[in-house]
Amino acid sequence: MNVQTEPKRSKEELIEKLTQPDLITGSEILLRSLLLEGVDCVFGYPGGAVLYIYDAMHGFDDFNHLLTRHEQGAIHAADGYARSTGKVGVCIATSGPGATNLVTGIATAYMDSVPLVVITGNVATNFIGTDAFQEADITGITMPITKHSYLVRDVNDLPRIIHEAFHIANTGRKGPVLIDIPKDVSAHKTIFKPVTEVSIRGYNPTVQPNKLQVDKLLKAIEEAERPVIIAGGGVVYADASAELIEFVNATQVPVATTLLGLSGFPSAHELWLGMPGMHGTYTANTALQNADLIISIGSRFDDRVTMNLNGFAPKVKTIAHIDVDPAEIGKNVKTDIPCVGDVKAVLAYANTKARSAKSAAWIAELQVMKEKFPLKYDQTENELKPQFVVEMISETTKGEAIITTDVGQHQMWAAQFYRFKNPRSIVTSGGLGTMGFGFPSAIGAQMGNPDKLVVSINGDGGVQMCAQELAICAINNIPVKVVIINNQVLGMVRQWQEIIYDNRFSHIDLAGSPDFVKLAEAYGVKGLRAKTKEEARRVWQEALDTPGPVVVEFVVPKGENVFPMVKAGDTISDMIMGDSE
């Protein structure tokens, strides 16, 4: 059947249409305002309190909404969209349970500084505070995990609030902003007046650095003999990867990238040391423990990086910290040179004056260390190892894919063995460690990057927290390649119980999990399985050659552990090296 469709409007024509001073409802104001903010996809799930909003979507062809199968799927998809594109992710849910189902996703984004605008419905204003059906104080519930929140009581405030929300979410230290819209406000009408200016008293993030502080840092670098950079997610979020590469080349300071910072500095660079911390490389951890200067760039000295602070970097003379959030500087580690400002702006200025450290001997020493203590694992021909799977994915995609992960052992193997080339190519829950995040975040990443390959690496535990979202991949032909590393247990919990709790294994058996191939097929998605290296290579190539979504299950041993590992309470010098020890 040949369906004639109306020609797509130009951007200018669409803006002209959207900005007309029409008498419209709050729901229509919301949709118009989102489009004027440049939103091209909203993830959501309807319910009673947002029915006026969803009614306004009916026949509104310029507005793109993706119906997920759970509110948590919606917010994780919005999160993956935001991390992979640098734009603000948007999701919508109804009041009460719809709103509270978003809480984990809001906390996930807040911990990792991801810009989201979260829109919830609420009961009508005259019912607020009466314990009405499906009422929840979502602004109160989420106060500790949002940058800001709004309860809209007047439809005339809606254009301003939406514009402010996007500004707050995507400036300074980025993060989620919540807009709670009572049902009657979404129905009230007013003349639409778009808002383009923003002025928020008390909110004025520092972007440009104090140049004297940056000069002090550059002097410290010139005098340093054993400097190390810890590059975190702030490098990626500031779109400062090019500036960091230029800075490193000029200063000759080696770089360790945190979990969230992994794609901010290319893995192939000769001065890359790997990831530091609990499951960091021997070289990255040893470098930090012997450094005389540590420069944190967009990293917050997280406890999984520093481990026991009493034994962290015992030989360091100077610690510098570049961060857009002044509250992070000195919070966990005493800072000698604070540089508050946007990472991109700080490095851009620093690159005008940067000179090399006295680091030639140090770099040579670290290169020898990298060769002597590489990441490795015990390879056998009759077993399919999870590390091999990640290496295979890295080699076949040439590091060009967007990789999303869930949380657990597979997440650490992805961080260790995938070689990232491009910024925003890893999407993972770092600070909160949210199981169920990996697959829906890949849907958002794919929607934001339709021309890129998106691979979601999951464990058999976390994928079951969100497997229902396979439906929307099938219906909308979203071509995510869903990898399941199936070891039939809660792997990271099992590893801790083995190493820390003397092999007292408690409630980790996932043997009753579904047949993942049949589960995929039940949703109308191709499912594949591999148990050997030969099968792994064959089915993975088949997945890559298949247009549309594919689920690939790799069956791996239960007892495989992530090494190196530093136990909680130990210093990063106390690495358990596993097979290479």
Closest CA to 431 of 73, 111, 100, 137: 111
Shared domain check, 421 and 344 = no
Between strands 42-45 and 23-25, the pairing is unpaired
The verdict on residue 4 lying in a domain is no
* Domain match, 331 and 394 both: no
Provide the pLDDT confidence category of residue 8 given band limits of 50, 70 and 90.
low
Shared-domain flag, residues 392 and 531: yes
H/E stretch holding 285: helix 282-290
Q: Taking residues 48-52, what's their average pLDDT? A: 97
What is the pLDDT averaged over residues 496-523? 96
Q: How far apart are the two ends of the chain, measured CA to CA in Å?
A: 65
- DSSP H helix total and E strand total for the chain: 23, 20
Residue 73: inside a domain, yes or no?
Answer: yes
Q: What is the pLDDT of residues 525-538, one digit of tens each?
A: 999 999 999 999 99
Overall average pLDDT of the 331-350 stretch: 97
173 and 219 both lie in a single domain: no
The single residue of 60, 127, 134, 216 carrying the catalytic annotation is 134
In a domain, 495, yes or no: yes
Tell me, what CATH number does 428's domain have? 3.40.50.970
Q: How far is the C-alpha of 524 from the C-alpha of 284, rounded, in Å?
A: 44
Instruction: Indicate which residue of 133, 208, 395, 577 is catalytic.
Output: 133
Residues 231 and 302 occupy one common structural domain:
yes
41 with 164, same domain?
yes
Q: Which of 130, 159, 191 is the last residue of a domain?
A: 191
Do 477 and 366 lie in one domain? The reply is: no
Average pLDDT, the chain: 96
Q: Are residues 125 and 164 in the same domain?
A: yes
User: How far apart are alpha carbons 371 and 117 in whole angstroms?
Assistant: 45
Confidence at residue 499, expressed as pLDDT on a 0 to 100 scale: 96
Residue range 93-102, pLDDT digits in tens: 999 999 999 9
Confidence tier at 366 by pLDDT (50, 70, 90) = very high
**Active-site residue among 183, 370, 385, 533?**
183
Q: Assess if residue 567 is contained within a domain.
A: no
Mean pLDDT of the 117-136 span: 96
- Amino acid identity of 120? T
Catalytic residue among 412, 492, 565, 575: 492
Question: Whole-angstrom Cα distance, residue 49 to residue 71?
Answer: 14
- Stated as kind and residue range, the H or E segment containing 484 is strand 481-486
Q: Are 527 and 533 in contact (CB under 8 A)?
A: no
User: Domain tally for the chain?
Assistant: 3
Residues 128 and 247 in one domain: no
Q: Is 71 a catalytic residue?
A: yes
Residues 252-272: pLDDT tens digits? 999 999 999 999 999 999 999
Other beta carbons within 10 angstroms of residue 169's beta carbon come to: 26
Backbone angles phi, psi at 370, to 5 degrees: -60, -40
DSSP structural state of residue 7? P
Q: Identify whether 381 is part of a domain.
A: no
For 573, the token pair is: 């010098």
Distance CA 50, CA 484 (A): 35
Q: Is the pLDDT of residue 402 over 90?
A: yes
Same domain, yes or no, for 173 and 307? no
Q: Answer yes or no: are the C-beta atoms of 481 and 549 closer than 8 Å.
A: yes
Contact 425, 453 (CB under 8 A): no
Distance (Å, whole) CA 391 – CA 549:
21
Domain membership flag for residue 199: no
Range of 362's domain?
Answer: 211-373
pLDDT(3) > 50: no
CATH number for the domain that contains residue 337:
3.40.50.1220
In a domain, 575, yes or no: no
Residues 428 and 517 in one domain: yes
Active site residue 183: yes
**Spatial distance between the Cα atoms of 457 and 52, rounded to a whole number of angstroms:** 38
Tokens of 355: 């000179």
pLDDT per residue as tens digits for the range 186-204 = 999 999 999 999 999 999 9
Q: One of 28, 43, 57, 71 is an active-site residue; which one?
A: 71
- Close Cβ partners of 564 (under 8 Å, ≥ 6 residues apart): 279, 280, 281, 282, 285, 575, 576, 577, 578
- Local structure of residue 571 (DSSP, 8 states): B
- 420 pLDDT band, cuts 50/70/90, is very high
Q: Are residues 118 and 241 in the same domain?
A: no
CB atoms within 10 A of CB 13: 10
- Phi (first) and psi of residue 533, to 5 degrees: -60, -45
This model's pTM is above 0.85? yes
Q: Is 367 a catalytic residue?
A: no
Is residue 577 a part of any domain in this protein?
Answer: no
Position 579 pLDDT exceeds 70: no
CA distance 447 to 416: 27
- 278 flagged as catalytic: no
From 464, 489, 276, 483, select the one nearest 390 (Cα to Cα).
483
